[in-house]
Amino acid sequence: MKANVWAGRNRLEIQDVPDPRILNARDAIVRVTSTAICGSDLHLVDGYIPTVKKGDVLGHEFMGEVVELGPGVRNLHIGDRVVVPFPIACGACFACQDGLYSLCENSNPNAGMAEKLMGHAPAGIFGYSHMLGGFPGGQAEYVRVPFADVGPIKIEDDLPDEKVLFLSDIFPTGFMGAEMCDIKPGQTIAIWGAGPVGQFAAASAFLLGADRVIVIDRFPYRLRRVQRTGAEVLNYEEVDVLEALRDMTGGRGPDACIDAVGMEAHHPTPAMYAYDRAKQATRMETERPYVLREAIMACRNGGVVSVIGVYGGFVDKFPMGTVMNRSLTIRTGQCHVQRYTEPLLQRIRAGEIDPSFVISHRMPLSKAPHAFELFKNKQDECNKVVLIP
Amino acid sequence: MMTDRLARALGWTSLALGAAQLAAPRAVTRLCGLDDAPGATTVARLVGARELLHAALLLGARNPAPWAWTRIAGDAMDLTVLGRAAAGRTGARRARALAALGAVAGITALDAACARQGTAKAKGPLQVRATITVNKRREEVYRFWRELENLPTFMVHLDAVRTIDQRRSRWKAKGPIAALEWEAEIIDERAGDLIAWQSVPGTGIATAGLVGFTDGPGGRGTVVDVSLEYGTPGRKLAAAVARMFGEHPEQQLRDDLRRFKQVMETGEVVRSEASPEGHRALRQLRQRPAQPTAQPTGGRA
Ligand SMILES: [Zn+2]
Ligand SMILES: [Zn+2]
């Protein structure tokens, strides 16, 4: 089968790889009908996530049709259409039973490796480094889906792929980012990053009752897009973000701040950017955490900083004094997707939201390397690419 | 532990001696009856610097006892110098030199004891311990483990365990060169609480183990706590086996327990295409790419 594989830093190739086979009783083989490129794939492509190997199949947002089932899967049938959550979860461990699916204690066969870097291991993730399991991803014609009886959600035929595909990651991720803010009526939420996850976070913040949502980015086309959700926008290359947020919130600051950017943030001041960029390039720190620092500084006293942008390792110059003295709450996590698929599917069905609004490009899977180029370099107003195998 | 504490004490002694020799070399040479030798204070200062080096090694090392050997080398130098001084002198100076000689000899004995124990410790039995929480009832977890023939499903280095009777069993493992076989016997057992076993002497390798089962707090599953011991020559063997699979014995045990948890909670060992033959910490750095495998994996599922 064809698959999009990592061939080295900033190098992707469409390669012929063997078809997947059932390895565990609760596996399913899914023929991928739609898959997407995610912003967090860029951290892999850029080589900032440790333990990615040449030849790894990428992709963790996908859906398709069940074509083969292991003997342990009883709730799915050949021919079922399913959306597959990106974290792999067993459903039986303490974390899964607590709804913390992205922390499943059984789905990461390389837990020992992750422990060395992180202290304890998170769940396995499709196509997201060996430290997170070494599972081939979904930017391929077929995927093996472990614990297929737990994660995948069945889709009735009337809903097209484009409306439900993002239940695999970015819609629940944006939604969890907003949910972690504990939004109450009258509140103002600031979101850094107007990419697809930021757009879903903005839409979700409104769904959860936010009064105002302010989104910060530097690309006018992305800001225009997020404005469609009803959000106000700030271009950080044109205004001083801290000052602007203070002014817009009566001097108090946003009630909650969502970091939807993560480890490869940009900074308008060249010197500040150069500092972390240089440290990152020499591998002295893995992150460029300006957004995180700024979100912490901007948040109102006693507010929440919700981190859904991906971080990989270590952060320098973290304003802990601010967090402590101003009673900030930091909430984070890879999305516990399995917790949200059913309720968010209901919202899609009820017409509360049509997630396909983020799509800007559709291409065959064979164009994946080109699609990554467009997406990474923000060319052609690229917002979200759907790949069709 | 006691050895390490002794080593640290010796380190502090070195620090004090070194400081004294550097700060007041004349007083030290007088005390040792050497104050009449030309260049005595310079030598005292050099010896003081050497003492500080011992101190740094003994106080700075994680495992200080073996470093006591460096002190013994120093002691030998001191004994030679003092011995010659005592032989070549008379009267009060000779008496002082002899006293110093006696003191150094005493310290040398301590150093030797410490260094020997420190080095010997590394040859003692190899002990590893790991613990994990399994989200199942204690009786169920215990029952699965007590069925010793189940062990190879999660202990990847074991090929097979065959029970002979209630207490005895025959174990087969992949060795570094040839397969290893030994007989083990359960030496203590409290149903639902613990199982202790050891290899029958003269049947292959010297090993012993203890697994304890307790209820997790607040009804959170079962805490499984495993200690393993490999005696000489089993120690060398165990380390070799571990190395062959590219990992530390401690890591090996932790990975085994993780697979045990997977088997108990999900029914089998979870596999990814990157390590279809099993999952081992260091080997994982040399994993194949995360893409489907063409050949049957052949490993145990
Ligand atoms: Zn993603
Ligand atoms: Zn789980």
Paired with B189 in beta bridges are B195
Whether chain A has a CB inside 8 Å of the CB on B215: the answer is no
Q: Would the pLDDT of A213 be above 50?
A: yes
Residue-wise pLDDT for A10-35, tens only, equals 999 999 999 999 999 999 999 999 99
User: CA–CA separation, A143 vs A136, rounded Å?
Assistant: 7
Q: CATH code for A173-332? A: 3.40.50.720
- Look at chain B and count its residues: 301
Whether chain A has a CB inside 8 Å of the CB on B140: the answer is no
Confidence of residue B301 (pLDDT cuts 50, 70, 90): very low
Mean pLDDT of chain A: 95
Rounded to a whole number of angstroms, the distance from the CA of A353 to the nearest CA of chain B is 35
Domain ranges of chain A: 2-169+335-387, 173-332
Worst-scoring range by mean pLDDT, A73-87, A240-254, A276-290?
A276-290
Whether chain A has a CB inside 8 Å of the CB on B262: the answer is yes
Q: Give the pLDDT of residue B289.
A: 85
Contact A134 B276 (CB under 8 A): no
Q: Give the pLDDT of residue B173.
A: 83
Output the DSSP codes for chain B. Answer: -HHHHHHHHHHHHHHHHHHHHHH-HHHHHHHTT-TTSTTHHHHHHHHHHHHHHHHHHHHH-SS-GGGHHHHHHHHHHHHHHHHHHHHT--HHHHHHHHHHHHHHHHHHHHHHHHHHHHHHHTTS-EEEEEEEEESS-HHHHHHHHHSGGGGGGT-TTEEEEEE-SSSEEEEEE--SSS-EEEEEEEEEEETTTEEEEEEPTTSS--EEEEEEEEEPGGG--EEEEEEEEE-TTHHHHHHHHHHHTTS-HHHHHHHHHHHHHHHHHHSS----TTSTT---TTGGGGPPPSS--SS---S--
In chain B, residues 228-257 whose CB comes closer than 8 Å to chain A: 251, 254-255
The fourth-level CATH superfamily of domain A2-169+335-387 is Medium-chain alcohol dehydrogenases, catalytic domain (3.90.180.10)
- Surrounding residues of ion ligand 1, Cβ less than 5 A: A 38, 40, 169
User: Which of A4, A22, A24, A31 to mutate against chain B (most B CBs within 10 Å)?
Assistant: A24
User: CA–CA separation, B143 vs B156, rounded Å?
Assistant: 20
> How remote is the CA of residue B246 from the centroid of ligand 2, in Å?
27
Residue-wise pLDDT for B218-240, tens only, equals 988 999 999 988 776 555 666 66
User: CA–CA separation, A93 vs A108, rounded Å?
Assistant: 12
Please report the number of interchain residue pairs, chain A to chain B, with beta-carbon separation below 8 angstroms. 124
Q: Give the pLDDT of residue B281.
A: 46
* Nearest partner of A154 among A82, A85, A84, judged by Cα: A82
> How remote is the CA of residue A98 from the centroid of ligand 2, in Å?
9
- A56 and A5 in contact (C-beta within 8 Å)? yes
* Nearest partner of A141 among A28, A53, A64, judged by Cα: A64
* Nearest partner of A86 among A143, A45, A43, judged by Cα: A143
Whether chain B has a CB inside 8 Å of the CB on A144: the answer is yes
Contact B290 A24 (CB under 8 A): no
Q: Which two tokens stand for residue B285?
A: 């750095």
- B258 and B226 in contact (C-beta within 8 Å)? no
More confident residue, B29 or B276: B29
ω into A268 cis (within 30 of 0)? no
Chain A residues with CB-CB distance to B285 below 8 A: 51, 113
Rounded to a whole number of angstroms, the distance from the CA of A313 to the nearest CA of chain B is 18
Rounded to a whole number of angstroms, the distance from the CA of B14 to the nearest CA of chain A is 37
Whether chain B has a CB inside 8 Å of the CB on A12: the answer is no
User: CA–CA separation, B129 vs B225, rounded Å?
Assistant: 7
Q: Which helix H or strand E contains A63, and what residues bound it? A: strand A61-69
Paired with B188 in beta bridges are B196
Using DSSP's 3-state secondary structure scheme, residue A38 falls into: coil
- A81 and A154 in contact (C-beta within 8 Å)? yes
Q: Give the pLDDT of residue B34.
A: 75
> How remote is the CA of residue A61 from the centroid of ligand 1, in Å?
6
> How remote is the CA of residue A202 from the centroid of ligand 1, in Å?
17
* Nearest partner of A263 among A233, A283, A242, judged by Cα: A283
